[in-house]
Structure 1
Amino acid sequence: MLDRTPAPYRVFTDRDVVDHLGDLPRIRGILGGAKGEWRVRDVADGNLNAVFLVDGPQGGVCVKQALPYVRVAGESWPLDVNRATYEAAYTRRLAPHVKGLAPEVHHYDPEQFVIVMEKLEPHIILRRGLIAGERFPKAPEHVAEYVAQAAFRTSDLAVPFERKAADVALFAQNLALQRITVDLVFTDPYVEVWRNKVTAPLAAWAAALRADVGLKSAVAHFRLRYLTSAQSLLHGDLHSGSVMATPDDTRVIDGEFALVGPTGFDVGNFLAHYVMAWYAKPFHAGAHGAITAYRDAIADDIARFWLTFRRRFLEIWRDEDASGDGLPPSHFADPAGRARLETFRQAYVEAIFRDAVGYLAIKTIRRIVGYAQIADFLTIGDEERRAEAQAGALALARALLKRPENFPDIAAIVDALAYFEGAGLDPKRAPA
């Protein structure tokens, strides 16, 4: 146990989970039967937390506990357990707006930093399904709806500035997780640091990124946007590992990185992981024809996610009585006001897209030459073949940051996927 944790806190064992749930009448009702009949499974596969599935005669729940360290690193990397408090607050804040798109939270214990939530079944982690070649045709649109609802309804477009200020004040305290983002996403990939995990075949790419002044200037711009743009309440770590899905149902999980920041950060992060899935897919098992068709489907998913987000964000804005202080109705009461307001709307969404393009690139670079790399690439056993897949994604990311004018819309990004494929291990020979 680390000394910095609150005194009542303890890291749960299977027995502790059962005893804890046994004291909660609502959870006993969900599980049914006696405590001795409950079955506990440790299913944690993320980087940070302990996760248990508990099944009883009548039903099941998921139990998530924040550990006082990074789970995959152990006690050598301490981490504030209060992140669970912010995840619980984020979930409560969005619950009225994203019903059916996130698991229901049954209970939060602020002393043990434990969240008890709906057990999702037969859902699987979206990333696992993408690697396995399974199709989740509704996931892009469902996640787009989730992000659109969160982005509009927690912004100055929808809420009075007092409500917005309360969100900023609360989630600005989620410093430990924001520090992880600042360091691992915006800093580490562009310096030599012990946490980076660069495979030997990609050493030249990593060195080129560190030396590229123009690219690092672009990253600095988006880093400042992350730190200073209080646009809406963000998930903060929205990727294919933070989504559970079936072919018909999708739920966003793991909101512990929540902060108020630029909406494009969530949008770009989710896009980045579909882009990396596209580059990794030819190196996974499967017949050539099937892989080609699957990649075409992923490319379609990339476009549908953005286009659905854009459409739904604008629809919500047009259909709702926007009571936020950002754009008061009195400013648009003149005869031409409706047209002027629509111009504002289009410009607002275009700015989200421009941010998303930058964060797509930055998240891609981070997952390839930084810490916490993703299974899409790591499941490719041969380092040379893995690096070949990653090099294409890095070449695209570099172009997005250095030549954003070449990517005016999502179609241009989708079209560029194949152009940068096979970029090669020498960044000097890769297309720019």
Structure 2
Amino acid sequence: MSQYRTFTAADAVEYARQYGGVENPESLVESQEIGDGNLNLVFKIFDRDGNSRVIVKQALPYVRCVGESWPLTLDRARIEAEVLQIHGQYCPEYTVKILHHDPELAVMVMEDLSHLAIWRGEQVKGRDYPQASAQLGEYLAQALFHTSDFYQHPYQKKAEVIRFTNPELCDITEELFFNEPYEVHERNGYPRALEPLAASLRDDDELRLRVAALKHRFFSHAEALLHGDVHSGSIFVGDNTLKLIDAEFGYYGPIGFDVGSALGNLLINYCALPGLMAPREAADAREKRLSDVRVTWQSFADRFLTLTAEKSRDRALAWPGYGAAFLRKVWCDTLGYCGTELIRRTVGMSQVADIKTIEDEVMKVECVRQAIALGRTLILAAEHVDNIDALIARVRQNG
């Protein structure tokens, strides 16, 4: 892009003065870069009194930890901003507010969420937010229903699929979810002691066939405008609120991918908890995490079914019973993608704090082993796990 330049801290302040929507723009005087800066620059903008007011986020043209050999499209910043704006239209309570975005500079200004905490970090610390799972389910139902064929006119839907075609970011997902964990690959990051288990994934013909089918559906099932990266590190929580951020992987794909990613991250934490806490505390926290899994799915499913009954615009899809039949398909997809999330977060490149925070190496290996085994089970058994109760039972059997 001809106008693109990488922002400095001073650039971020000046940009926030122009587009942050604060009453006195000149009161914004300082910025602090936050986050790892691997894919994006993220600046928190402060006023003279030291209060953080808005966030300025700019996409980088490559993965910084790898270098220019892994280039990234700057158009992902437009996609992220517009996905969040659309999701915010239908679920403003639980979507970060985008105040401004400029596709030429690949930059956006959004509301500051400093009063909230990242859900993954809170889970690692053992802090419970009992309302968060229902709110996440509500977000998923509202955002995904309203961008699906149930609600969108076919002309609009087809145009939106083109608008949100996101091949470069989808390619990252396709590699990290469906290819690399099932291959010998330099970016994989599992403990050396689990090499036999990792090798068994590579050699399991039935597993590889089911992963191939999940990848094929990711390619071809343009069911709704996905967030594309729903995990507990992209969710802010507070005492009675929740906000989704970081939708740069958004595109039109299978609804079960977003829901499965959400459940998969809850189950990663479930598997990690024995390495993060004393036995009794871990047992209690595990029960809370299973409750989160149950409530997230039930909240999503109940609201989605209600919306199909009350707001479906397509005459055929509005026929009584079709919403429930479609949700059964979403459930099977959800379980499969949940399994791939568990495996890619433990075998693949994208390791998470739930596992990395475990200090006892023997316990870490055991927690990773459980997560891999659960992921494999869910991929293989997706068509035979009938409901959320059966899923919870399978998780308990896994150990």
TM range, normalised to the smaller chain? over 0.9
Of residues 261, 267, 274, the one that matches 2:259 is 267
Matched ranges for 1:268-417 at <5 A:
268-284=260-276, 286-320=277-311, 322-324=312-314, 327=317, 341-417=319-395
Give, in whole Å, the separation in 1 of the partners of 2:234 and 2:343: 19
- Kindly provide the CA deviation profile for residues 198-247 of structure 1, in whole angstroms up to 9, marking residues without a partner as x: 22011111111011111000001111111111111101111111111113
- Kindly provide the CA deviation profile for residues 42-86 of structure 1, in whole angstroms up to 9, marking residues without a partner as x: 111374211111121576001111011113333342211211011
Deviation at 1:123, TM superposition (A): 0.8
Residue in structure 2 matched with residue 248 of structure 1 by the alignment? 240
Matched ranges for 1:166-185 at <5 A:
166-172=159-165, 174-185=166-177
Query: Which structure's CA Rg is the greater one?
Result: 1
3-state DSSP of counterpart to 1:403: helix
Structure 1 pair 154/204, CA: closer, same or farther in 2 (3 Å)?
same
Deviation at 1:399, TM superposition (A): 1.5
Structure 1 pair 72/140, CA: closer, same or farther in 2 (3 Å)?
farther
Deviation at 1:94, TM superposition (A): 2.1
2:91 touches 2:139 (CA, 8 Å); kept in 1?
yes
Check if 1:67 corresponds to 2:60.
yes
Structure 1 pair 59/239, CA: closer, same or farther in 2 (3 Å)?
closer
- Kindly provide the CA deviation profile for residues 285-328 of structure 1, in whole angstroms up to 9, marking residues without a partner as x: x44322221111111110010011110001112222x223652x
Structure 1 pair 21/349, CA: closer, same or farther in 2 (3 Å)?
same
Of residues 96, 101, 110, the one that matches 1:117 is 110
Amino acid at match of 2:235: V
TM-score (norm 2): 0.95
Give, in whole Å, the separation in 2 of the partners of 1:109 and 1:416: 47
1:358 touches 1:400 (CA, 8 Å); kept in 2?
yes
Give, in whole Å, the separation in 2 of the partners of 1:347 and 1:257: 28
Residue in structure 1 matched with residue 12 of structure 2 by the alignment? 17
Deviation at 1:382, TM superposition (A): 3.5
Deviation at 1:88, TM superposition (A): 1.4
Deviation at 1:33, TM superposition (A): 5.7
TM-score (norm 1): 0.88
Matched ranges for 1:148-227 at <5 A:
148-172=141-165, 174-227=166-219
Residue in structure 2 matched with residue 338 of structure 1 by the alignment? none
2:149 touches 2:314 (CA, 8 Å); kept in 1?
yes
1:199 touches 1:383 (CA, 8 Å); kept in 2?
no
1:201 touches 1:384 (CA, 8 Å); kept in 2?
no
Give, in whole Å, the separation in 1 of the partners of 2:382 and 2:94: 32
Identity of aligned residues (%): 35
Give, in whole Å, the separation in 1 of the partners of 2:328 and 2:366: 33
Structure 1 pair 55/258, CA: closer, same or farther in 2 (3 Å)?
same
3-state DSSP of counterpart to 1:15: helix
Give, in whole Å, the separation in 1 of the partners of 2:178 and 2:56: 31
2:80 touches 2:247 (CA, 8 Å); kept in 1?
yes
Deviation at 1:12, TM superposition (A): 1.4
Deviation at 1:406, TM superposition (A): 4.1
Give, in whole Å, the separation in 2 of the partners of 1:82 and 1:74: 18
Amino acid at match of 2:111: E
Give, in whole Å, the separation in 2 of the partners of 1:7 and 1:384: 52
2:54 touches 2:110 (CA, 8 Å); kept in 1?
yes
Deviation at 1:27, TM superposition (A): 2.0
1:191 touches 1:210 (CA, 8 Å); kept in 2?
yes
The list of structure 1 runs, each at least 4 consecutive aligned residues, that deviate by more than 4 angstroms after superposition, is none
Of residues 77, 94, 103, the one that matches 1:101 is 94
- Kindly provide the CA deviation profile for residues 374-416 of structure 1, in whole angstroms up to 9, marking residues without a partner as x: 1110111333321200111111111222233442111122122
Amino acid at match of 1:63: V
Amino acid at match of 2:279: H
Give, in whole Å, the separation in 1 of the partners of 2:269 and 2:254: 24
Deviation at 1:9, TM superposition (A): 1.4
Give, in whole Å, the separation in 2 of the partners of 1:33 and 1:292: 50
3-state DSSP of counterpart to 1:224: helix
Deviation at 1:280, TM superposition (A): 0.2
Residue in structure 2 matched with residue 142 of structure 1 by the alignment? 135
Residue in structure 2 matched with residue 7 of structure 1 by the alignment? 2
Give, in whole Å, the separation in 2 of the partners of 1:46 and 1:417: 35
3-state DSSP of counterpart to 2:321: helix
Q: Which runs of 5+ in 2 are unaligned?
A: none
Amino acid at match of 2:333: D
Amino acid at match of 2:12: V
2:79 touches 2:250 (CA, 8 Å); kept in 1?
yes
